[in-house]
C-alpha cells in the first residue's frame, strides 16, 4: 500500500513539474522557491 501511494504521489509531482516547465517556463517553481526561502528566513528569525 505504501509503495503504491508513494508511486502515485511521485508521478503527480513529476507531472506538475513537467507541466510547469512546458507551459509556464518554470515560473511556478521559481515562485515557490522564493517563498520557501522567505519562510526559512522567517523561521530563522523566530529561532
pLDDT for res 1: 64
Average pLDDT for residues 1-24, to the nearest whole number?
Answer: 93
pLDDT for res 45: 82
Q: Which of 13, 6, 43 is nearest to 28 (CA)?
A: 13
What are the domain boundaries of the chain? 2-45
pLDDT for res 47: 75
Q: How many residues does the chain have?
A: 47
Q: Is the pTM of this model over 0.85?
A: no
Q: Which of 25, 36, 37, 29 is nearest to 13 (CA)?
A: 29
Under the banding of pLDDT at 50, 70 and 90, the label for residue 46 is: confident
Amino acid at each position: 500500500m505504501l509503495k503504491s501511494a508513494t508511486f502515485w504521489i511521485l508521478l503527480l509531482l513529476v507531472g506538475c513539474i513537467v507541466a510547469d516547465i512546458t507551459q509556464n517556463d518554470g515560473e511556478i517553481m521559481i515562485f515557490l522557491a522564493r517563498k520557501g526561502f522567505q519562510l526559512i528566513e522567517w523561521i530563522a528569525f523566530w529561532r
